[in-house]
Amino acid sequence: MIDELHEECGVMGIFNGENIVKNLAMGLYALQHRGQESAGIAAADGEKVRVSKSMGLVADLAEEGRLESIAENCFAAVGHVRYSTTGSRTLANAQPMLVSCKWGYLAVAHNGNITNAHELRAEMEANGHIFQSTSDSEVLLHEISRTKADNLPNAIRIAVQKFKGSFCLIFLTADSMYVIRDGYGFRPLCFGKRNNSWVFASESCAFDLLGVDYVRDVAPGEFLSINKSGVRQEQLIKKERKAFCIFEFVYFARPDSIIFEQSADKIRRKMGKKLAEESPVDADIIIPCPDSSTTAALGYAQASGIQFEIGILRNHYVGRTFIDPSQNVREQKVKLKFNTINGVLKDKKVCLVDDSIVRGTTLKIICKMLREAGAKEVHIRIASSPVKCPCYFGMDFPSPSELVANALGTAEVAKMLGVESLGYLSVDGMRQCTGAPEDFCGACFDGIYPEDFCHAGKTRCGEAT
């Protein structure tokens, strides 16, 4: 996807093993695509939990011996990479969040979005609680701490019943780890093992680097309590359906990851193939917009029998610094990142396969660049449906009014992009590719939410205020 979307988090936890903090850092590095704003690790040594966090990348966190200070005697740790919206870019919101409560040290790494956090927070403030961040993770720590439970696992059991929305939570105390995933399973959470180590991560690509074997997903609603004595597993939350985020397959997850117990590459490939069926094209070459749509483009090329080519190159060096706000920023920004390979494109009927369409502004510039590189025709195929509705469960889309498909029909978008044709994958087509059409949430495409997302109980796009 060209307009970069932002997953709000990646989480990881390791219980038992050697070099836990260092291994966790490497796992977070593999999850870096899920959040680049801040990174952090909390480590337990049996007596206390210590945390190290920093703004920026995991590599920044690992610099200057910061992690060594928390690694001593560590036998369990949780980590987090975070993206957040502008305005809240402060260390106060970085995770894992570590507090002291009646059960001692309690840290949490959270991926997801508690949709009723605002109401819970208002009620708690009225009851005398104070808040030091704008993060919903702070809300859930308060909620757990104020239950009347006799111990922490029971407090978690009680508190999570109050949370709406999406949550993959890994808690860490001085001696235990607790893992829980919301009942719908919106966001992915994998479980792996290596020798006596228990490992959890948003995506399985974090396992590969460490030689950890992927076992299965933490199931929706499943609650795992892990300590030196062993693991206790229970099905804590029961929902009538699953609601895996289909956008993880469309764009977010790394293709080498297993999420929702399926290979991201395989599903994404199917989407490309399905797109070729639903929306064929008369073109000389199929090109991806690197790197996110390469898999879908390969699928499209294979299904259509049209030649796959690399027609656009991406510069991976950091280039933000050069952007001069006084100029035509967007075009320059796109050109700093992408360049065309003219010999591949010249006098060709080019079909660009992209994974998704959101604002369409960047895609428009790319289309212009393709034309300037000598493409005879430019066709666009999107390996998903157009994004039309907000996500309340962890994706950071622009507001509905900025989504191009809300303002323009397909033909109008094609005209705006200045291309010969434009085709999408249908929502049904997307669902079929997953092999379990009913188990996925596609609300950003079709506006049908699996759960009410605000106190008014609305579950359809357009109802929301």
Tell me the Ramachandran region of residue 325: left when phi exceeds 0, alpha when psi lies from -120 to 50, beta otherwise. alpha
Return d(Cα 283, Cα 28) in angstroms, integer. Answer: 41
Which part of the chain contacts a copy of itself (CB under 8 A), choosing from 72-80, 129-137, 393-401, 454-462? 129-137
What is the set of active-site residues?
9
Q: Which residues of 178-203 are buried (b: 16+ CB within 10 A; e: fewer)?
A: bbbbbbbbbbbbbbbebeebbbbbbb
Tell me the Ramachandran region of residue 361: left when phi exceeds 0, alpha when psi lies from -120 to 50, beta otherwise. alpha
Cis amide bond preceding 291, omega within 30: yes
Among 343, 409, 418, 435, binds a copy of itself (CB under 8 A): 343
Among 44, 141, 391, 419, binds a copy of itself (CB under 8 A): 141
Angle between helices 427-434 and 264-278 (to 10 degrees): 140
Q: Hey, which residues between 266 and 325 contact a copy of itself (CB under 8 A)? A: 266, 294-295, 298, 302, 307-310, 313, 315-322, 324
The answer to whether residue 158 forms part of the interface with a copy of itself (CB under 8 A) is no
For a copy of itself, the closer of residues 85 and 307 by Cβ is 307
For a copy of itself, the closer of residues 77 and 461 by Cβ is 77
Least distance (Å) from a copy of itself to the CB of residue 37? Answer: 13
The contact pattern for a copy of itself, residues 7-46, with x = CB under 8 A and - = no contact, is: ------------x--x--xx--xx-xx--x----------
Q: What distances in angstroms separate CA 424 from CA 33, 192, 381, 384, 405, one per listed residue?
A: 25, 36, 6, 6, 11
For a copy of itself, the closer of residues 63 and 277 by Cβ is 63
Least distance (Å) from a copy of itself to the CB of residue 415? Answer: 25
The answer to whether residue 102 forms part of the interface with a copy of itself (CB under 8 A) is yes
Q: What is the residue-wise DSSP string for 332-398?
A: HHHHHHEEE-HHHHTT-EEEEEES--SS-HHHHHHHHHHHHTT-SEEEEEESSPPP-S--SSSEEPP
Return d(Cα 180, Cα 169) in angstroms, integer. Answer: 5
Closest CA to 141 of 165, 166, 124: 124
Among 158, 341, 416, 464, binds a copy of itself (CB under 8 A): 341
The answer to whether residue 47 forms part of the interface with a copy of itself (CB under 8 A) is no
Least distance (Å) from a copy of itself to the CB of residue 220? Answer: 24
Closest CA to 380 of 362, 401, 354, 355: 354
Least distance (Å) from a copy of itself to the CB of residue 96? Answer: 12
Least distance (Å) from a copy of itself to the CB of residue 111? Answer: 18
For a copy of itself, the closer of residues 146 and 239 by Cβ is 146
Length of the chain: 465
Judged by the rule CB under 8 A, the positions of this chain that interact with a copy of itself are 19, 22, 25-26, 29-30, 32-33, 36, 57-59, 62-63, 91, 97-102, 106, 125-132, 141-142, 145-147, 205, 208-209, 254-256, 263, 265-266, 294-295, 298, 302, 307-310, 313, 315-322, 324, 335-336, 339-344
